[in-house]
Structure 1
């Protein structure tokens, strides 16, 4: 009997060793790299020890870029490995994910992986390809959230970030331990309206945060598309955003803690009645407290997952990846939110730990993207890739290799307009140094050229500078090449630069985005689309 037991244990150990790696994918909503201490923002906004642990024990990517800086589209990109125009999910206003198309979870599930999706889904259809899913409806709420547990409506008491952490650990404990798994733990935080957990109200002891250099950006010399926005701390933040109004779904105990922190401070605000620049400064400080407190709660729950993997002996055979659907503005250019091709919203954090494969403490500066994640998951899982994907596996980069044919540029396209933030549709190309951008409708037809080497804060366009004429020509040609590569058709670019004209008659007519039930909504649509 004892011999049989040892034989059984040996076989189980051998099977485990032969298994492809497990994958834990921790995905946040609107997580700014500036808020993570491992990215070293000069403002030193927050310490994130658990996220930092992933960077120290794995690889930090410094140029992970998105292809359409908005929540739902980024999630669709990850599921499919395809740009928005190819997967059909363009925006948060009137898009619905086509779950019949090929996705990475379907392939991994078919090949024997246990697949779980917990937290924010935001694709307007039920998850497909998962053994277990428990997701927030729509955007979800920060306190006492309703959720959908494999199709069944449920409701939880507590703080949503912690609840997602609880559900993640519960599934990991109950999973079939004979199979490899992929856990997609997807947090709502730190999405607007940045409602902190009770334990972190006042965590910063009323610290005065350093303001970004461009908090009062004048947008001088820039396109109307940049100046005529509706996502400014000055013009867009509401009383709900700044906690002058409390959430309406708090329990009495939660409301008591909330009021104990906010009400004395709100009384001082009302007495001072700041206006103009003083109002922007006050809102910025309130924003930083609230946003960063939400990030602290996420960091706590990252730590809980890492501790569980250590305790259960899973660390060595589990790839842990942490990222976000896009970056976020923490006051830069006077903004919050995302959407733009500019750095703070284009660049998303990305950390990966894979013991035995990734050298600890590595920093990678290659241009990578969420478009690469599906192929990467499948490669790690030793599964065939999806057909016609636009991304490629990052596994060679994880191994420290530098493929000679790695991309030197990335195509970007944002579509949603006019709600909720009046950011004009635009497309463009990003290289290590430049961004060439075309704002193409409905009331603008402008180009801008950013030179991050000369203007890292991205406050100036060099498009009309004669010294950049050849650069503009080359980048416009690169846009055409990339559009052809991903099979997106747009109007031919207006190939002019000062008095010099270039041939642009090489592209077919515009491909209009699909019109759904939400098209044409006005009042109330902004809130839903956030």
Structure 2
């Protein structure tokens, strides 16, 4: 059989609850079908649930301090040195070097803007910053075909830089961005199909901005029935206070957000149909995921970049006929995605990547059975854990680290003025994170686990001395 292909799909701010039984009341028949014929990971997590940091980890397999993306990339943070390092590894570069035809379509948001981008990109926003950026040819991290932009939230009037066009030569489009980008992706698949069948595989990444806000920028045929549902039918998680300001705003947003989710699902359907019609479905690994979720009123919050499940958990759905273990208990986080993609496709993981390759826990053996062990015999891959990051924006801001497993979450926050505070949740008994555990022995045990996890990942942190003192019993649980 020819070398396997990869279709890697990312939807911005698409939370895991949209694809779960008993979750958000949104219809996603094509993604449901994808999951039913493949694998959907219940413990896929964004280490840093905001756009640029997750995407940088997803591409490079490195933590933020190594890849250079410690905050969202814009004109302000570019002055701090934030932006994906030119020498950062990437799964795309590894596949291109192995003979793959690589392509990237849609939102990138990893290039540090320069002043010219304020003129030729989406312009300066009301906050005085500009976010959109052109990516020079030598900073595309292994993608040969390029139809992309930095960060532009105009869903109905998107623009793109293509091929070797210059910064001043962007393509302006009228229409819903996700549908247009799917058109481009289908054309890429049609061009690549013959070579793929003959032995030259492709790896295509498609990155949609919806269902990210602005929520009212929807395609003309969007589903309007969600607007008929009451707030209690739209927002079913018990950590949403419906009569609060956040609950009321979330109830107003939800019908539009769900409509965008449904419209994204329809684009997934178009891609799957294209793979089928081109005879590529059996030999193409399809992955659907997101960079982070959205609070949607949970815990009194609307958006992301917080350590709650609604923000941290992401969908991660894989389909690869006959190749995957449907009973896998594996989980992964942002930094594990790049090494795992390479492992799934049969490649060694580049040494600079810091994430785990969990492909052994995802794959069936040659007979289609789960082999019952990871590649090195270790059981840890079936016990997912993920670090959480929040870097301070200034000397007054908090600095946060955490550790999430399938059963518990521990968050440690270092306050410049007042020191360390912690929060511990039992995700089995309390999946909505409504009760913080304060039992001293448990808090100390989780402080020790976070200390060990940060050390194992080579991570320094301003709160590390206080955390170590808490773990050793030298500091009372805050």
Which residue does the alignment assign to 2:128?
Answer: none
Which residue does the alignment assign to 1:383?
Answer: 347
The alpha carbon displacement at 1:28 in A equals 1.0
Once the two structures are superposed, residues 59-113 of structure 1 have per-residue CA deviations (whole angstroms, 9 ceiling, x without a partner) of 0100011211111111110111111122111111512111222222111101100
Whole-angstrom distance in 1 between the partners of 2:240 and 2:147: 39
The alpha carbon displacement at 1:354 in A equals 0.8
Which residue does the alignment assign to 2:456?
Answer: 485
Which residue does the alignment assign to 1:266?
Answer: none
Q: Does the CA-based 8 Å contact 1:109-1:130 persist in structure 2?
A: yes
CA RMSD in angstroms comes to 2.4
1:282/1:201 CA distance change after superposition, 3 Å: farther
Residue among 422, 435, 456 paired with 1:447:
422
| 3-state SS, counterpart of residue 106 of structure 2 | strand
| 3-state SS, counterpart of residue 204 of structure 2 | strand
Question: 1:96-495 to 2 correspondence within 5 Å?
Answer: 96-124=83-111, 126=135, 127-152=140-165, 153-175=170-192, 177-178=194-195, 179-194=200-215, 195-200=217-222, 202-204=224-226, 206-209=228-231, 210=233, 211=235, 212-216=237-241, 277=243, 280=246, 282-359=248-325, 362=326, 364-398=328-362, 399=364, 400=370, 401-403=372-374, 404-406=379-381, 407-417=383-393, 424-444=398-418, 445-463=420-438, 468-490=439-461, 491-494=464-467
| 3-state SS, counterpart of residue 177 of structure 1 | helix
Once the two structures are superposed, residues 177-231 of structure 1 have per-residue CA deviations (whole angstroms, 9 ceiling, x without a partner) of 32100110111011122222221162435222423322229xxxxxxxxxxxxxx
The alpha carbon displacement at 1:143 in A equals 0.6
Query: Are 2:5 and 1:22 equivalent residues in the alignment?
Result: yes
Once the two structures are superposed, residues 260-303 of structure 1 have per-residue CA deviations (whole angstroms, 9 ceiling, x without a partner) of xxxxxxxxxxxxxxxxx376554333211110111111101100
Once the two structures are superposed, residues 133-176 of structure 1 have per-residue CA deviations (whole angstroms, 9 ceiling, x without a partner) of 11123134211211111253111111111011111111111237
1:335/1:364 CA distance change after superposition, 3 Å: farther
* Structure 2 unmatched ranges of 5 or more: 113-134, 365-369
Query: Relative contact order (C-alpha < 8 Å, sep 6+): which is higher?
Result: 1
Whole-angstrom distance in 2 between the partners of 1:177 and 1:503: 65
The alpha carbon displacement at 1:452 in A equals 2.1
Per the normalisation by structure 2, the TM-score is 0.81
Residue among 40, 57, 70 paired with 1:77:
57
Per the normalisation by structure 1, the TM-score is 0.73
| 3-state SS, counterpart of residue 99 of structure 2 | coil
* Greater mean alpha carbon deviation, residues 85-94 or residues 193-202: 193-202
| 3-state SS, counterpart of residue 412 of structure 1 | strand
The alpha carbon displacement at 1:363 in A equals 5.2
Whole-angstrom distance in 1 between the partners of 2:12 and 2:84: 18
Query: Are 2:71 and 1:58 equivalent residues in the alignment?
Result: no
Whole-angstrom distance in 1 between the partners of 2:192 and 2:387: 39
Q: Does the CA-based 8 Å contact 2:175-2:219 persist in structure 1?
A: no
Whole-angstrom distance in 1 between the partners of 2:411 and 2:393: 17
Q: Does the CA-based 8 Å contact 1:124-1:138 persist in structure 2?
A: no
Once the two structures are superposed, residues 351-408 of structure 1 have per-residue CA deviations (whole angstroms, 9 ceiling, x without a partner) of 000111125xx35433322222111222233333111322222322222344323255
The alpha carbon displacement at 1:417 in A equals 3.6
Which residue does the alignment assign to 2:22?
Answer: 41
Q: Does the CA-based 8 Å contact 1:35-1:41 persist in structure 2?
A: no
Which residue does the alignment assign to 1:250?
Answer: none
